[in-house]
Amino acid sequence: MAICFLSPAKPISISPLIYNKKPAVIRCNFSLPTITTTEPEPVFTSVRSFAPATVANLGPGFDFLGCAVDGLGDFVSVRIDPSVHPGEISISDICGTHASIKLSKNPLWNCAGIAAIATMKMLNIRSVGLSLTLEKGLPLGSGLGSSAASAAAAAVAVNEIFGGKLEVKDLVLAGLESEAKVSGYHADNIAPAIMGGFVLIRSYDPLELMSLKFPEGKELFFVLVSPDFEAPTKKMRAALPAEIGMPHHVWNCSQAGALVASVLQGDLVGLGQALSSDKIVEPKRAPLIPGMEEVKKAAMRAGAFGCTISGAGPTAVAVIDDEERGKEIGKSMVEAFSKEGNLKAVAMVKRLDRIGARLVGSVPTR
């Protein structure tokens, strides 16, 4: 049963705290151990966190490359709630532009709730109950890491309300618990949602994450065009081949390597070429999204350095180095979705989010 959300009497103050405690390489095991042997005391009565949208795969990097996108994402508010049983969490409300009746308030069946529970387990929380509100800024099934944004924001919020005891790797594992139940065990959304920037998943067993530093001072814009069409991740994953030939394997590996090198060098032309080069996943998914193949061609004709499907789709993502040119590319892509796919679409031009999930508001304990 959902418990009513009561806003704290004291207004939430905006905090500059950024959740960006990350080394270049992060290694951890699959399991969710209790990290803190002593249960931490809450340092806030309530917190509000934000986690950004993400672009997974980036063309040839299926399940092992992703990046965070600035200006889009989900918010999660968590507060200490005496009416909730100690050691448990209740989802009191789901709201926002993209709130949906499809989202359950049962924390065992909600991506934010699952990640929050996993974080509480790691922190060994037994003495207090929590109430959570999810504000959806991302549409479901959009290819922009909607479930990962909710999970990342929830994990960070729970961690910070108890003083930020967990490391980034722990929060990624908590988010993976959620992703595994919602869309599959893949970290190419949840890792960049928490860490920000570009992230390479080097290994899943054990989990090993590498932060790829895109050079400061280099301009990078993502043209995100989202059609009015839902592409559930599980359905889009089911369309993928069980086996691939050696030539395609070699090609995709070389292009993924080129993409990583281009990110580190700040080479947007090389990044775009690699982004557009997938021969394994995109050819199977593009026909399932009306107009996608022509949208990609339209983006390239309009001057994009590269274009591919964002995550499982249906959003198309193109890259460019100029915001105004990005807007023109977006218009061409929207027109192609309308003409070739008979779909309405919305275009946005966004920068890389270098920060990842962070605390944006808090009320300290008295």
Q: Which two tokens stand for residue 201?
A: 């998943």
Q: Write down how long the chain is.
A: 366
What single-letter amino acid sits at 318? A
Residue of 135, 160, 177, 179 with catalytic role: 179
Residue in 45, 54, 119, 233 annotated catalytic: 233
d(CA 133, CA 112): 9
3-state SS string over the chain? CCCCCCCCCCCCEECCCCCCCCCCEEEECCCCCCCCCCCCCCCEEEEEEEEEEEEECCCCCCCCEEEEEEEEEEEEEEEECCCCCCCCEEEEEEECCCCCCCCCCCHHHCHHHHHHHHHHHHHCCCCCCEEEEEECCCCCCCCCCHHHHHHHHHHHHHHHHCCCCCCHHHHHHHHHHHHHHHCCCCCCCHHHHHHCCEEEEEEECCEEEEEECCCCCCCCEEEEEEECCCCCHHHHHHCCCCCCCHHHHHHHHHHHHHHHHHHHHCCHHHHHHHHCCCCCCHHHHHHHCCCHHHHHHHHHHCCCCEEEECCCCCCEEEEECCHHHHHHHHHHHHHHHHHHHCCCEEEEEEEECCCCCEEEEEEECC
315 part of the active site: no
On the CB side of 9, CA atoms within 13 Å amount to: 2
Minimal CA–CA distance to 94: which of 79, 107, 83? 107
Would you say 60 and 277 are in contact if contact means Cβ atoms under 8 Å apart? yes
Amino acid at 89: I
For residue 282, indicate whether it is catalytic: no
Contact residues for 139 (Cβ-Cβ < 8 A; gap 6+): 98, 146, 226
Catalytic annotation, residues = 179, 233
